[in-house]
């Protein structure tokens, strides 16, 4: 019987199949995963060690003060001006990036024709690939002058303009990742809602977005982390004023641009100013870590599993 020839051949093949790669490959993957985890630990370790040298020399009351004058004869290392600069630019960026990015994602994934989506998505991805220094230059030499005509009191270096431009820079990321998440919602799930007479809009908000929430949340968190860590735009367009103020028309310094200023300047190794860089780096890291934890919590709480 010919059928049994094939059966015998296949069974012969399974019996003699080498399971080397079935066993070796997972080990290889594990090694790679360990390498990435260990490097991360290494980086965090050096950050923590040198940051501690800073905290050993500077009292906490000074760290959490608003006076940042690292180079004065009587130096003071208050972090609040930097935190303030970082948080304000990030908030402005999110106010731009989240609504615009989400709306674009909803349009692309739910309403746009297949053809249009195929055209628009690569354009979004090109936008995401523009070097940040270009955005920084754009903020300083185009956006700030335009804003100055609207707000005469705006300083040439200010927080508003780089915040807005950073938002624009992040839109493609939010849009693209959220769009992927919404596209991944199985169509039978949408059919369930449309079959009950929901409009496309209702289906989008009641079924698709809840189902895709974990992907959407992670796109927003990535966006926030990106804004917190963004360096070039703020260094160029927001200046290096170490004032503590909530006035977004003024110049402020962010944590990242503080690091730029000091590493390109003359922070001698071993000085308190030098170790302050690690302290700022550590705080930046704690920020992004917290963001990730928040995202995980939200996903767990609101994510619908399917």
Partner 1 sequence: MKDNNMDIVYDVKGLNLWYGDNQALKDINMKIEKNKITAIIGPSGCGKSTFVKTLNRMIENVDGVRTSGEILYYGDDIFTNKLKVEELRTRVGMVFQKPNPFPKSIYENVVYGPKIHGIKDKKLLMKITEESLRGAALWDEVKDRLNENAYSLSGGQQQRLCIARSMAVNPEVILMDEPTSALDPVATMKIEELMEDLKKDYTVVIVTHNMQQAARISDKTAFFLNGELIEFDVTSKIFGTPKDQRTEDYITGRFG
User: Applying CB under 8 A, which residues contact partner 1?
Assistant: 1, 3-4, 6-7, 9-11, 13-15, 17
Q: Using the structure block, give the residue that is written with the tokens 């994510």.
A: 303
Which residue lies nearer to partner 1 by CB, 7 or 206?
7
φ and ψ of 76, to 5 deg: -140, 140
Q: Are 300 and 213 in contact (CB under 8 A)?
A: no
Q: How far is the CB of 18 from partner 1 (least distance, A)?
A: 10
Residue 119: HSE in the Cβ half-sphere, 13 Å Cα cutoff? 5
Which residue lies nearer to partner 1 by CB, 270 or 300?
300
Residue 117 burial (CB < 10 Å; 0-12/13-18/19+)?
middle
Q: How far is the CB of 13 from partner 1 (least distance, A)?
A: 4
Q: How far is the CB of 302 from partner 1 (least distance, A)?
A: 22
φ and ψ of 204, to 5 deg: -60, -50
Radius of gyration of the chain (CA): 25
DSSP of 177-222: HHHHHHHTS-HHHHHHHHTTT--HHHHIIIIIHHHHHHHHHHHHHH
d(CA 86, CA 257): 9
d(CA 175, CA 96): 12
Which residue lies nearer to partner 1 by CB, 9 or 150?
9
Q: How far is the CB of 43 from partner 1 (least distance, A)?
A: 34
Q: How far is the CB of 187 from partner 1 (least distance, A)?
A: 11
d(CA 277, CA 260): 9
Determine the angle formed by the axes of helices 80-106 and 209-229, rounding to 10 degrees.
140
Instruction: Classify the C-alpha dihedral 38-82-128-170 as positive or negative.
Output: positive
Q: Using the structure block, give the residue that is written with the tokens 């020839």.
A: 5
Which residue lies nearer to partner 1 by CB, 19 or 301?
19
Residue 8 burial (CB < 10 Å; 0-12/13-18/19+)?
exposed
Which residue lies nearer to partner 1 by CB, 8 or 266?
8
Which residue lies nearer to partner 1 by CB, 23 or 72?
23
Q: How far is the CB of 25 from partner 1 (least distance, A)?
A: 15
Q: How far is the CB of 24 from partner 1 (least distance, A)?
A: 16
Which residue lies nearer to partner 1 by CB, 100 or 189?
189
Q: How far is the CB of 14 from partner 1 (least distance, A)?
A: 5
Which residue lies nearer to partner 1 by CB, 26 or 99?
26
């Amino acid at each position: 019987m010919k059928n049994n020839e094939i059966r015998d051949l296949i069974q012969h093949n399974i019996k003699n199949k080498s399971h080397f790669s079935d066993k070796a490959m997972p080990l290889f993957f594990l090694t790679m995963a360990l390498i990435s985890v260990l490097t991360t630990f290494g980086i965090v370790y050096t950050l923590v060690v040198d940051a501690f040298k800073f905290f050993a020399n500077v009292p906490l009351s000074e760290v959490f003060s608003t006076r940042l004058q690292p180079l004065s004869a009587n130096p003071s290392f208050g972090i609040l001006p930097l935190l303030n600069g970082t948080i304000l630019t990030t908030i402005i960026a999110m106010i731009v990036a989240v609504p615009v990015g989400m709306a674009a994602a909803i349009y692309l994934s739910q309403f746009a024709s297949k053809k249009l989506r195929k055209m628009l998505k690569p354009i979004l991805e090109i936008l995401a690939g523009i070097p940040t220094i270009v955005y920084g230059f754009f903020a300083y030499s185009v956006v700030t002058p335009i804003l100055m005509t609207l707000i005469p009191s705006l300083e040439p270096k200010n927080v508003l303009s780089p915040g807005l431009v950073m938002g624009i820079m992040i839109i493609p990321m939010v849009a693209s990742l959220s769009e992927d998440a919404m596209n991944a919602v199985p169509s039978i799930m949408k059919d369930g809602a449309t079959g009950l007479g929901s409009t496309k809009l209702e289906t989008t908000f009641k079924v698709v977005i809840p189902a895709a929430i974990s992907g959407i949340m992670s796109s927003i968190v990535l966006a926030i982390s990106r804004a917190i860590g963004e360096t070039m735009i703020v260094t160029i367009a927001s200046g290096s004023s170490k004032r503590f103020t909530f006035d977004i028309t003024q110049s402020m310094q962010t944590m990242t641009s503080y690091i730029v200023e000091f590493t390109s300047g003359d922070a001698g190794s071993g000085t308190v100013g030098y170790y302050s860089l690690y302290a700022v780096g550590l705080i930046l890291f704690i920020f992004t870590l917290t963001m990730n934890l928040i995202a995980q919590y939200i996903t767990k709480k609101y994510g619908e599993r399917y």
